[in-house]
Structure 1
Amino acid sequence: MVEETIYFGRFISAPQPDELLIRTGAVLVNRNDGKGVIKKADWTVTSSSDAASKFGVEAPVVVAKDSGFFFPGFIDTHIHAPQHPNVGIFGKSTLLDWLTTYTFPLESSLGNVNSPMYKDAVSPPDPLARAKAVYNRVISRTLANGTTTASYYATIHVDATNLLADITFARGQRAYIGRVCMDRPEMCPDYYRDESTEQTIANTKASIAHCKSLDASGELVAHIVTPRFAPSCLPQTLTQLGELAKEEGLRIQTHISENLNEVKLVKELFPDQSSYADVYDHHGLLTPKTILAHAVHLSKEEMRLVKAKKSKISHCPNSNSALGSGLCPVRELLDEGIEVGLGTDVSGGYSASILDAVRNACIVSRHVGFLHDGDSRYNVGVAEGLWLATMGGAKVVGMEGRLGGFEEGMLWDVQEIALGEVESDGQGEDLEVDIFGWESWENRVAKWVWNGDDRNVRRVWVGGRLVHETR
């Protein structure tokens, strides 16, 4: 039986950095292959009652409210799933002490009964039970905020990492699952590291096999090779991870040049390489399938190397600001021809919302412009921020042409947005974004970007499957 659904209403997307495309019409989605692909789009359809006859099919019609619109699902190119309980907890820390004080203890607690977080426990804990609660919650949060695709860091633990894959697969979120690799003794706590390169590779292979057992196609869930960052791994481990990713044809994710002290540390640990980017290149980790998070302090030479290797950047403005890491020069990255998307970087970032990352990308860009004598060329506007969150993100995760828009052949990974209609007496729904009726649609979208949150997300689909609905 052919599974088809028609969606009618207003469709808004950002197909180019300087373009906000606003159309009204209908889209026919076919789920016969289980993927939920846009079979046909017709921008001449003017009513929901005419949609079925226009397409010549008998299918249910899903209608967006007149005050709302369909928008491509957000793509979070960098998020740490086990860190969700620590959202908003970073004190006055900078990156390296934040990892030691907050991050490693929490992550270890999801798979190790000897975690420092359990030192005062009266009864033996169940780390996997904690992991299940954390992972279900972070997936609920991201879906509720319109994130249809996420590139997740998990922990070093195979069982907990596989559990994250199980939950994302069951909940229907498109996800890349990374078992975190860290085995350099002098850089990793004894309670939270792999014992050797051999163990790192064996455990990574086990997680790869589990993801394949869930989804052999890798369409919905796939493993992503994840050295935490260069200082956390032995040199031979970095090399073997690069080789493994190449053999398996897998994506890679790691961190680069987030913090000045981190950059200095990398130079001390890898004196034979000319730069942080060169370290990854030397070990075979700069590939067209590589996602480099942050890139706040890349030199021009490093930018050109990243571009030459066709690696991608995840811009995480919330985290960079919260941890005081610096201001990422996004315009310079884009000018170099590097693909850039957005990441929440939970929990260095204080929110699981990519919409919040969009507005912070806009704000940070203005600070960068101020440091360049107020040059507005550096500014990221609403359309470009939304482009980074969708089309840009699709390029970063290797899904260009398949996610981020409403063109025929694209996957139906979509969120339905509702805006608050203010009545004549000033009353209205509590949807945070107040629409008085006289605003242009460009201005309504701008108000959503600057004021919106999960209350505006009515429904979310991944591959045509409804995965979240506001009750």
Structure 2
Amino acid sequence: MSETLLESSFAISGTFIHSTITSPLVILSDHCIGVISGKIVFIQKNDNKINDVLEKYNIDVGNIICLKGLQFVIPGFVDTHIHAPQYSNCGKCLDEDMLSWLHKYTFPTEAKFADLDFATKQYWKVVSRVVKNGTTTASYFGTIHTNSTLKLCDVIQSIGQRGIVGKVNMNRNSPDYYKENTTISVQETKRYVQEVVMRKYTLIRPCITPRYAGNCCMGLMKQLGQIARSNEIHVQTHIAETTEECDMVRKHFPENESYLDIYNEAGLLTRKTVLAHGIYLTPEDRKLIRERNCGISHCPNSNISIRSGMLDVRACLDDNISVGLGTDISGGYSPSILDAMRTAIFTSNTIALHKGPNYKPLDYQDVFRLATLGGAKVLDMEDHIGNFEVGKAFDALLVDPCVDGGPIDVFREDTMEDIIQKFIFLGDDRNILSVFVAGNDILENFVRQISSPNDGI
């Protein structure tokens, strides 16, 4: 598939599966989607009007991609919470609870990113792996190092993924080798935001990133809140991930009514705020989150792997709170949103065992929406990505459930609903043939990076 083709105009003909506000799973069989300059310009049934539509948009027959067999296209996955510098720890270092895990494994690993060469090699690896698993948009935590976080932006832009990227802030309760003072933290955050804007990335948005209230004093968080509001940019942080963390935060902020109230006082709760975890939020907390139009990133693999707890996503959705999925590597050991979808179902089923027969656990349709349109809404990007609507960017995955050597077996009696379930529960990166961001198949960039230097990692 040529780069020239994808940067101009093309159409894809076949089966499309996506979510809408009213329906978690919509199957568009025998449809055609037209893309010009990276955006969807039409969605049309393959009927006697299709030729007129193609002619209207000057899309030549030679620029039509016809899906084969049981192939289908879905929106790209949205990872609402991921720690890029922790990727090297995925699949190991899971023998501690969260706070001990930070000091024993995570802070020492993140401190290494002061070295730009080291950071560059690590960031190529993680972004490439995440893209290969179908994530077209990710909300990344960097480290406290401004220059290496800018390097993360460079890598994401080069590969072609869409990213929200934050320089981490932390001025207390961390080791001396990995800590900022308040003045430098604020100055470097301002420099980071200004530099991202000046570089005019087409796919990257800056993000204010206080690690969590236990690592930041109120003075720092208030200044970060001011930067976020004055620049109208995203905020990402952690909240109520473990009971030990909640106890620690309460001791540091005895004058605040709740953990969430700390962020509210600091001016960090906006419609562009992503709150990771939120396992131990109260009903009053959830009410305030809804009022501020914040979103929650549900990270089920991490929550189970480091024994944090289980978020009741159904309760959040019933309270009209936006929820998306996060891999939270390396607390979560998998960089795949497919894994997050499965673990979200397992978590919800476990909660259902305790809640009783009247509780409705999440099903495959629910998590499909969380992974796509739900994640887009959490990132305040639902007007641009998340499903297939005219005017939105064409961020999509071309999936082949029958790829040679793949993990899925399809049988004659399987319906398309059956096949999408099999992809959710059994599929992996082998089934993902193309990863489109703004109309460009960025897997080509992943292939190019394989030859990048790996020595010294």
Q: TM-score, normalised by structure 1?
A: 0.90
Percent of aligned positions that are identical: 37
- What is the distance in 2 between the residues matched to 1:447 and 1:51? 34
Question: For 1:359, which of 342, 345, 351 is the aligned residue?
Answer: 342
Question: For 1:293, which of 276, 287, 299 is the aligned residue?
Answer: 276
Question: For 2:141, which of 110, 130, 153 is the aligned residue?
Answer: 153
- What is the distance in 2 between the residues matched to 1:440 and 1:48? 26
Q: What are the superposed Cα offsets for residues 376-429 of structure 1, whole Å, 9 maximum, x if unpaired?
A: 41x1111110100011001011111321111111110111111127xxxxxxx2
Aligned to 2:165: 177
Question: For 1:204, which of 163, 168, 189 is the aligned residue?
Answer: 189
Residues 215 and 222 of structure 1 are in contact (CA less than 8 Å); yes or no, is this contact kept in structure 2?
A: no
Q: Secondary structure at the match of 1:435?
A: coil
Question: For 2:211, which of 205, 224, 228 is the aligned residue?
Answer: 228
Structure 1 runs (4+) deviating above 6 angstroms are 46-51
Q: What are the superposed Cα offsets for residues 70-127 of structure 1, whole Å, 9 maximum, x if unpaired?
A: 110000000000000000123321110000111000000111xxxxxxxxxxxxxxx2
Aligned to 2:18: 13
Aligned to 1:435: 410
Cα displacement (A) at 1:374: 4.0
Aligned length: 439
Residues 24 and 368 of structure 2 are in contact (CA less than 8 Å); yes or no, is this contact kept in structure 1?
A: no
- What is the distance in 2 between the residues matched to 1:264 and 1:455? 43
Aligned to 1:388: 370
Residues 82 and 106 of structure 1 are in contact (CA less than 8 Å); yes or no, is this contact kept in structure 2?
A: yes
1:60 and 2:63 correspond: yes
Q: What are the superposed Cα offsets for residues 40-92 of structure 1, whole Å, 9 maximum, x if unpaired?
A: 11123599999845855326112322221111000000000000000012332
- What is the distance in 2 between the residues matched to 1:13 and 1:403? 11
Structure 1 residues 50 and 140: alpha-carbon distance in aligned structure 2, compared to 1, 3 A threshold: farther
Q: What are the superposed Cα offsets for residues 417-447 of structure 1, whole Å, 9 maximum, x if unpaired?
A: 11127xxxxxxx2110111232000000001
- The amino acid that maps onto 1:381 is D
1:105 and 2:105 correspond: no
1:142 and 2:126 correspond: no
Question: For 1:448, which of 419, 423, 429 is the aligned residue?
Answer: 423
- The amino acid that maps onto 1:150 is A
Q: Secondary structure at the match of 1:191?
A: helix
Residues 162 and 437 of structure 2 are in contact (CA less than 8 Å); yes or no, is this contact kept in structure 1?
A: yes
Residues 25 and 46 of structure 1 are in contact (CA less than 8 Å); yes or no, is this contact kept in structure 2?
A: no
- The amino acid that maps onto 1:208 is V
Q: TM-score, normalised by structure 2?
A: 0.92
1:42 and 2:44 correspond: yes
1:22 and 2:27 correspond: yes
- The amino acid that maps onto 1:436 is F
Name structure 2 gaps, 5 residues minimum.
448-457
Cα displacement (A) at 1:17: 6.9
Q: Secondary structure at the match of 1:305?
A: helix
- What is the distance in 1 between the residues matched to 2:420 and 2:287? 35
Q: Secondary structure at the match of 2:376?
A: helix
Residues 341 and 396 of structure 1 are in contact (CA less than 8 Å); yes or no, is this contact kept in structure 2?
A: yes
- The amino acid that maps onto 2:198 is S
- The amino acid that maps onto 2:126 is V
Q: What are the superposed Cα offsets for residues 119-163 of structure 1, whole Å, 9 maximum, x if unpaired?
A: xxxxxxxx2221111100111111111100000000001111010
- What is the distance in 2 between the residues matched to 1:210 and 1:152? 17
Cα displacement (A) at 1:215: 2.2
1:78 and 2:81 correspond: yes
Structure 1 residues 22 and 283: alpha-carbon distance in aligned structure 2, compared to 1, 3 A threshold: same
Q: Secondary structure at the match of 1:327?
A: coil
- The amino acid that maps onto 2:366 is E
Name structure 1 gaps, 5 residues minimum.
112-126, 422-428
Q: Secondary structure at the match of 2:20?
A: strand
Structure 1 residues 375 and 208: alpha-carbon distance in aligned structure 2, compared to 1, 3 A threshold: same
Residues 394 and 438 of structure 2 are in contact (CA less than 8 Å); yes or no, is this contact kept in structure 1?
A: yes
Cα displacement (A) at 1:310: 1.1
- The amino acid that maps onto 1:201 is V
Q: Secondary structure at the match of 2:443?
A: strand
Residues 154 and 178 of structure 1 are in contact (CA less than 8 Å); yes or no, is this contact kept in structure 2?
A: yes
- What is the distance in 1 between the residues matched to 2:251 and 2:94? 27
- What is the distance in 1 between the residues matched to 2:51 and 2:405? 30
Residues 16 and 384 of structure 1 are in contact (CA less than 8 Å); yes or no, is this contact kept in structure 2?
A: no
- What is the distance in 2 between the residues matched to 1:363 and 1:399? 28
- What is the distance in 2 between the residues matched to 1:78 and 1:46? 44
Aligned to 1:133: 121
- The amino acid that maps onto 1:190 is D
- Indicate the structure with greater helix content: 2
- The amino acid that maps onto 1:43 is K
Question: For 1:215, which of 186, 192, 200 is the aligned residue?
Answer: 200
1:321 and 2:304 correspond: yes
Aligned 1:248-259 pairs, distance under 5 A? 248-259=231-242
